[in-house]
């Protein structure tokens, strides 16, 4: 499209420190009740929080004992993907698109990942050794961005948590996943992930992302108070906070399973 006026419109919402549960519920609502394209940028979340994919099982993915002891919130989101722990040092970027806004991108996971990889190649041009490896954004062979998607009829969401910085101690709440990308090669968290701050400033990254997006969309900043942002009070999000009792039951089940194994040895 040669004229900017012919580019599809995309609403840009910039947030700062919004709780990840609130952000995800907003994204789910926009995906399911809005007919517009959206980009949501949330610069950090207010407290360390574990976020699991829709099919994630706490007993397989979390060190539930320490999670309960330290009262770390656990959110199960509406999209697929893996498990992450996020905090004020994480940068979140989400794209919610109508399929006809990007007709060359088939509404399936791999084409959407490929599109996003090309977009972020522009963002990180001249910055580190960026690539899309399997479903991760990496510098070299170390991950700094984890992705998840949800695809509905005529619309899809692609969202990423970028590790601008992180507290290594927090990674101890996560187990090594049974299903991991081949390039991980069983490396623990300290050898597998890296910090974006060693490559680019936080604000420059956000600015570059919005600029790259502007090559494909007519980007319009929008305040959440705008009437263009739907507020469907009847909508009930599937994204939720896991309760203490639910986690305790998972922990007890895991402990009982471990005892059975020990008794059989």
SS3 per residue for the chain: CCCHHHCCEEEEEEECCCCHHHHHHHHHHHHHHCCCCEEEEEECCCCCEEEECCCCCHHHHECHHHHHHCCCCEEECCCCCCCEEECCCEEEEEEEEEHHHCCCCCCCHHHHHHHHHHHHHHHCCCCCCEEEECCEEEECCEEEEEEEEEEECCEEEEEEEEECCCCHHHHHHECCCCCCCHHHCCCCHHHHECCHHHCCCHHHHHHHHHHHHCCCCEEEECCCCCCCCCCCCCCCCCCEECCHHHHHHHHHHHHHHHHHHHHHC
The yes-or-no verdict on residue 232 having pLDDT over 80 is no
The yes-or-no verdict on residue 179 having pLDDT over 90 is no
For the chain, the average pLDDT equals 91
The yes-or-no verdict on residue 226 having pLDDT over 80 is no
Question: Where residue 264 falls among pLDDT bands split at 50, 70, 90?
Answer: very low
What per-residue confidence (pLDDT) applies to 188? 86
Average pLDDT for 23-41: 96
What per-residue confidence (pLDDT) applies to 54? 95
What per-residue confidence (pLDDT) applies to 21? 97
What per-residue confidence (pLDDT) applies to 3? 44
What per-residue confidence (pLDDT) applies to 12? 97
The yes-or-no verdict on residue 261 having pLDDT over 70 is no
What per-residue confidence (pLDDT) applies to 176? 84
What per-residue confidence (pLDDT) applies to 258? 53
């Amino acid at each position: 499209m040669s004229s900017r006026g012919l580019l599809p419109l995309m609403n840009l919402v910039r947030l700062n420190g919004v709780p990840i549960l609130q952000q995800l519920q907003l994204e789910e609502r926009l995906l399911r009740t809005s007919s517009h394209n959206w980009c949501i940028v949330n610069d950090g979340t207010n407290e360390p929080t574990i976020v699991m994919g829709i099919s994630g099982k706490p007993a397989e993915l979390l060190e539930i004992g320490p999670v309960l002891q330290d009262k770390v919130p656990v959110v199960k989101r509406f999209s697929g993907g893996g498990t992450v722990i996020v905090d004020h040092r994480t940068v979140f970027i989400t794209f919610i698109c109508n399929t006809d806004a990007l007709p060359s991108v088939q509404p399936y996971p791999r084409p959407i990942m490929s599109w996003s990889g090309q977009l972020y190649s522009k963002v990180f041009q001249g910055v580190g050794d960026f690539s899309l490896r399997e479903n991760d954004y990496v510098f070299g062979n170390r991950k700094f961005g984890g992705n998840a998607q949800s695809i509905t009829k005529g619309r899809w969401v692609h969202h990423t948590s970028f590790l601008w910085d992180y507290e290594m101690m927090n990674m101890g709440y996560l187990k090594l996943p049974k299903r991991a990308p081949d390039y991980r090669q069983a490396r623990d968290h300290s050898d597998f992930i890296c910090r974006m701050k060693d490559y680019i400033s936080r604000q420059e990254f956000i600015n570059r992302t919005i600029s790259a997006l502007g090559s494909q969309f007519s980007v319009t900043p929008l305040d959440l108070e705008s009437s263009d942002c739907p507020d469907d009070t009847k909508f009930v999000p599937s994204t939720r906070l896991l309760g203490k009792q639910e986690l305790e039951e998972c922990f007890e089940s895991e402990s009982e399973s471990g005892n059975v194994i020990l008794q059989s040895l």
